[in-house]
Amino acid sequence: MDMDIDKKLRGRRVLVTGGAGFIGSNLVESLLEEDNYVVCLDNFSTGKRRNIEKFLDNPKFRLIEGEIRDVSICREAVEGTDIVFHQAALGSVPRSIADPVSSTDINTGGFVKIIFAAKEAGVERFIYATSSSVYGDNTDLPKVEDKIGKPLSPYGVTKLTDELFAEVFSTIYDIKVIGLRYFNVFGPMQDPEGAYAAVIPKFILQLMRHERPVINGDGTISRDFTFVNNVVQANHLAAIVEKEDALNQVYNIACGKSTSLARIFEIIRECLGKYDKNISGIEPLCGPERPGDIKHSMASIKKARELIGYSPMINVSEGLEKTVEWFMNDR
């Protein structure tokens, strides 16, 4: 995984919850490459066994198949751990609207159980994934960490609640925490199947099948799409930063640029056209906007740049090219 060699965590014992998921498995791979001992906790409700199969024979990798909602499993997973990377969640705004009970139970209930277990075990640092969904109805651009709105979905509520719990835990229990607000992450090992698949892998798979993807809205909806390697880099930086003022904070993790869905489609089509010329002539369909969606999103990454040294290494076009290559050759 392409990352600045001076900005990686090395030789520690770490836990990655949701380690068989899209982001989690990319993070696990990078941590193993740097000689860390990695425990992966996953129940495979959304994570995939194929994402971690290549790690199973590694003596520095351990899989615990279980629930973050199970207190005893959480205690087992954090035992002897230096750093926790909490990636486990039931993602997707539409999924949370369809089933707010499960989203809340896993995303908030599970969060409290794992962070409390980490505190009880004396874990040095707890790094957790939160989301741009916490900005809700705030229309200001770019998004700045200390200016959020009212969440527009149960998923946004769960992530905001996690941030509040983390802040309280850092104050009353003196556990060092860092929250990373992810903005529309994409890349290898992201699942293109299912009702709640993210837009980029879904577009790629549909075009590979010579189907016409549906763009929600008129195509002008824009997001700060972020390649997964940038997110992995941010997790490493959050794990090694030593400045006191950088701890117990929340950071936007994105590229700091917004790209429309129509442009995303065009780039993907262009990349796939190099493998299959018949894809070049496929045009998208337009569908209704999704409930709970905002029109535009773009992050300010100034705080992450200044306090933890974050700088996205791979832009959207490069990331899409790498993602398409993975779909064509490795999936």
d(CA 226, CA 187): 9
Domain map (residue ranges) of the chain: 13-185+227-255+299-314
Q: Which pLDDT score, from 0 to 100, does residue 5 have?
A: 42
Q: Which pLDDT score, from 0 to 100, does residue 242 have?
A: 93
pTM of the predicted protein model: 0.93
Q: Identify the band that residue 179 occupies on the pLDDT scale cut at 50, 70 and 90.
A: very high
The CATH number that domain 13-185+227-255+299-314 falls under is 3.40.50.720
Peptide bond between residue 142 and the one before it cis (omega within 30 degrees of 0): yes
155 is catalytic: yes
Residue 40 has pLDDT above 90, yes or no: yes
Exactly one of 155, 182, 251, 310 is catalytic; name it.
155
Residue 197 has pLDDT above 80, yes or no: no
126 phi/psi in degrees, rounded to 5: -125, 110
Q: Which pLDDT score, from 0 to 100, does residue 293 have?
A: 67
Residues whose CB falls within 8 Å of the CB of residue 111, separated by 6 or more in sequence, listed in order:
68, 86, 128, 158, 161, 162, 165
Strand partners, 65: 42
